[in-house]
Structure 1
Amino acid sequence: MAQQKAESLHEIADRTIDRTSGETVTVGEVIDASAGRAFGPLLLLPALVALAPLIGAIPGVSVVTGAIIAVIAVQALFGRKSPWLPKTLNDLSFKRQPLEEGMKRVRPVLEKIDTVLSPRLSFMAGGFGFRIAMLCAVLMAILMYPLALVPWGVMLPAAAVTIIGIGVTADDGAWILAGVVVSTAAAVAAYMLWTSAWAGLT
């Protein structure tokens, strides 16, 4: 992945609100306003949307956010210099109000997180460690599909990608590593859930 400038998390939330308008917005408009052409924010924003209670609970949202995360993470995994989204995803539209309310709620948290971020553990921010993190992000995106059938089921994989996205955005390998750990926990929890459900059916 090409080295990209670390960004302030709360400024991404601000841009999401300030640079969009109208009753409805498209995925492409939100991305252009908030994330631009950087991999970190493009992983972080859909994960935050899936994680935010006001937005993530809307039917179908986790499917869309999971698709965006998967597309972006696969491109980062294979070293694409700048991210791309297919027109089908770019043109999807949704109501702007829940997005604005969700971003306003998470902004104070993001501002506090900004104070503890710094470039470190460079082996996780590039090379093999980064690729492991992107594989985890792809896996979490895939898990969002079956877990969308479970109330609040996408919260743990969305949290994992959020943490990874924070790390990539801030070039902070410690957060990326933490996201990998949470991804592993989410995968184990999903496996146990499916095993339990299957045992109940047989």
Structure 2
Amino acid sequence: MSEPTTLTALLQTLESDGEGPQLSLGEVVAVIGERGYGPLVLMLALIAALPTGAVPGVPSVCGISIALVSMQLVFGKRYPWLPARMRRLAIERQHYARVADRITPWTRRLDRLVRPRLHWFTHGLATRVIGLACVALGLCMIPLEVLPFAAAAPATGIAMMGLGLTGKDGFWVLAGLAPAGLGLWFLFKLFG
């Protein structure tokens, strides 16, 4: 995987490098995909965890995308790939820009908390285990969409793990287990 990067830089790259009225998943993959799985999973999870996740269908699309991308991480594929149909899925660029502008002050604060540490949780076999967890959590987001904002719990866990992979920070990978567990609890309560 590539060198650590910041969440704020990723948000700004997506906002400034795009063309057209919509931001597609294909564009997200093209802009940040080659930086590794962490940034891509992080951005997909944030779309589902933030207010954009209240739009019907968004948590399911993000969950399926996260599962597809993370499965590739499990199998050791070097760069993420999405099918053409999924790459065409898009949200309004203007809506993304509003959300990105609103959360940028928070991402700057968060960027100061991310630093390379507990590296054994972000390298080697651990990344495949993280990928497997993200597959399971991404698939959990699909049925949780029926409850308002319930899919935000596993999405937040995935986002924290993605942040850990992005910044090479094992602390964030471990911290992501708490909201991930909450998401699983929601799922079992809903269907158990």
Q: Above 0.5 in TM-score?
A: yes
1:41 is matched with 39
1:13 is matched with 11
Assess, with a 3 A threshold, how the Cα gap between structure 1 residues 100 and 31 changes in structure 2: closer, same or farther: farther
2:69 is matched with 72
1:143 is matched with 140
Q: Return 5+ residue gaps in structure 1 as ranges.
A: 196-202
Q: How many residue pairs get matched? A: 191
From 176, 184, 187, the counterpart of 1:187: 184
Q: Distance in 1 between matches of 2:128 and 2:179?
A: 16
Q: Return 5+ residue gaps in structure 2 as ranges.
A: none
- What's the RMSD between the two structures over aligned residues? 1.5
User: Could you report, residue by residue, the CA deviation over 1:5-48 in whole angstroms, capped at 9, with x for unpaired residues?
Assistant: 11111000101111123322322123323x13121111011111
2:170 is matched with 173
2:108 is matched with 111
Percent identical pairs in the alignment equals: 31
- Helix, strand or coil at the partner of 1:36: helix
- TM-score, length basis structure 1: 0.88
2:29 is matched with 31
- Decide whether the 8 Å contact of 1:133 with 1:177 is kept in 2: no
1:51 is matched with 49
User: Could you report, residue by residue, the CA deviation over 1:80-131 in whole angstroms, capped at 9, with x for unpaired residues?
Assistant: 1111111111122332122111112222111111111111112211234333
Q: Distance in 1 between matches of 2:154 and 2:79?
A: 24
User: Which 4+ runs in 1 deviate beyond 3 A?
Assistant: none
- TM-score, length basis structure 2: 0.92
Q: Distance in 2 between matches of 1:142 and 1:71?
A: 10
Q: Distance in 2 between matches of 1:153 and 1:117?
A: 26
